[in-house]
Amino acid sequence: MNSGKAKIFNQSFLEIALINFLVLITFYSLIVAIGPYAVDILHLSTAVSGLLVGIVVIGSLVMRMMSGAILAKISTKTMMLIGAFVLIPTMIAYHFATSMIVLLLIRFIQGMMIGLIGTVTNTAVVFVVPAERRSEGISYFSLSTVIATALGPFLGLALSGVSYSFLFNVETVIAGLAFLATLFIHKSAVDIKAHTATKTATTDAPTGLHRFMEPKAIPLAMALFIATLTYSAIQSYLSFFMKAQHMSQVTEYFFLIYAAVIFISRPFTGRLADSKNENFIIYPALVLLAIGFILLSNVHNVVVFVLAAIFIGLGFGNFQSAAQATISKIVPPERMSYATSTYFIFFDLAFGVGPYLLGLIEPSIGFTGLYQLMILVTVIALIWYFLVHGRRVK
């Protein structure tokens, strides 16, 4: 088949992308609103508000570790329906969260459902795009995440400004829309078992580590973990850093610029990875990421700030999708769900432990020193990638 005519935007692709977008909107909008809600409405401490922000990532991580094994036994559509359905009462329950314990439980369950649905959608999309255009297809699909990362925080802050009750009502509606979208997915198009039946019929049931992760994917996932640590420094501490630089009024625009750059570049980088190979994307992406942190750590005006956002968007945004596409290429189809689970376990782990670890370092080196340190971390990610994968690519 001519790769130029192989259809990426089929019905299943669009439905999966829509579900991924809606679910992540509930995640990113609440991630910025739940801290102020805990402090202003429930009168909890800022330390507890940080725990409430992080517990959703822990829930997601727990489910990602389990989802690979679950997906091997239950159809993709069934798991998506379960995850989307449970998300609805979880959103409703925010109205009745009047204590720290209840709110922690709600956040943990929400994280589990987001982790489940995210693993399912990112596994299913591999099978609904043409194999010869897989990198390009994943690049397009990942735009649903990119848009959510920009629109979610904006909605969370804007709607909570009206009232938190209004915010929770909108979250419930969004979760309901995600469930309705799941109902329309064709089971045959996204059923992982249908794509792996021949292999699994002659393969022993996975045991040990193989039940939760794909060992072949771990080295590349470790490169992702190292690079994602740098972006966790952005999400956690950019507002503090920009305030110290007396530029707090422009902080929110970083994520809009970041998302716009990825939105524009992903289609081109995806095609390049398919026509050439992943090294043509990953090496330049990590170099651009390092340049972005050089600029950010030396920010003194809006122009440098914008350039830093552009370089970091081009760097981390495209490395992330290229790493996911590469992992999907190095495992057999019957292990795809485990490989996807491995990818997101390391991705979530970086966002879960990164802010805490970097927070221990920051008092000694300051925010400028922290972002200078991220330059070194990016170089380490590049060297690690070369050692475990890049040098073997033909």
Q: What is the pLDDT of residue 6?
A: 65
Q: What is the pLDDT of residue 186?
A: 73
- Is the pLDDT at 198 greater than 50, yes or no? no
- Number of Cβ within 10 Å of residue 364's Cβ equals 8
Instruction: Give per-residue pLDDT as tens, 360-393.
Output: 788 899 889 999 999 999 999 999 999 999 888 8
Distance CA 316, CA 251 (A): 18
Name every residue whose Cβ is closer than 8 Å to that of residue 266 and which is 6 or more positions away in sequence: 139, 140, 142, 143, 146, 317, 318, 321
Q: What is the pLDDT of residue 31?
A: 79
Q: What is the pLDDT of residue 200?
A: 46
- Is the pLDDT at 155 greater than 60, yes or no? yes
Domain ranges of the chain: 9-191, 212-393
**Over pLDDT 90: what percentage of the chain?**
31
To the nearest 10 degrees (0 to 180), the angle between helices 279-297 and 318-329 is: 150
Q: Considering only residues 353 and 203, tell me which one the structure prediction assigns the higher pLDDT.
A: 353
209 Cα distance to chain centroid? 23
Local confidence band at 110 (pLDDT 50, 70, 90 cut-offs): very high
Q: Are 348 and 213 in contact (CB under 8 A)?
A: no
Q: What is the pLDDT of residue 194?
A: 54
Rg, the chain, Cα only: 20
**Over pLDDT 70: what percentage of the chain?**
90
Do 9-191 and 212-393 have matching folds? yes
Distance CA 100, CA 106 (A): 10
Q: Are 69 and 206 in contact (CB under 8 A)?
A: yes
CATH topology of domain 9-191: Growth Hormone; Chain: A; (1.20.1250)
Local confidence band at 188 (pLDDT 50, 70, 90 cut-offs): low
- Is the pLDDT at 299 greater than 90, yes or no? yes
Over residues 170-197, the mean pLDDT reads 78
71-85, 94-108, 209-223, 319-333: which has the highest mean pLDDT? 94-108
Distance CA 87, CA 67 (A): 16
Instruction: Give per-residue pLDDT as tens, 59-85.
Output: 888 887 777 667 667 777 888 899 999
Over residues 352-362, the mean pLDDT reads 78
93-107, 252-266, 305-319: which has the highest mean pLDDT? 305-319
Q: What is the pLDDT of residue 47?
A: 63
Q: Are 228 and 112 in contact (CB under 8 A)?
A: no
- Is the pLDDT at 242 greater than 70, yes or no? yes
Provide the token pair at 35.
């801290």
Local confidence band at 178 (pLDDT 50, 70, 90 cut-offs): very high
Q: What is the pLDDT of residue 157?
A: 75
Distance CA 130, CA 5 (A): 10
226-235, 298-307, 322-331, 339-348: which has the highest mean pLDDT? 298-307
Local confidence band at 350 (pLDDT 50, 70, 90 cut-offs): confident
Local confidence band at 2 (pLDDT 50, 70, 90 cut-offs): very low
Residues listed for the chain: 394
Write down the mean pLDDT value for the chain: 83
192 Cα distance to chain centroid? 21
Q: What is the pLDDT of residue 202?
A: 45
The Cα-based distances of 391 to 225, 358, 362, 394 in angstroms read: 19, 30, 34, 8
Local confidence band at 195 (pLDDT 50, 70, 90 cut-offs): low
Residue matched to tokens 């409405």: 41
The CATH architecture one would assign to domain 212-393 is Up-down Bundle (1.20)
Q: Considering only residues 6 and 342, tell me which one the structure prediction assigns the higher pLDDT.
A: 342
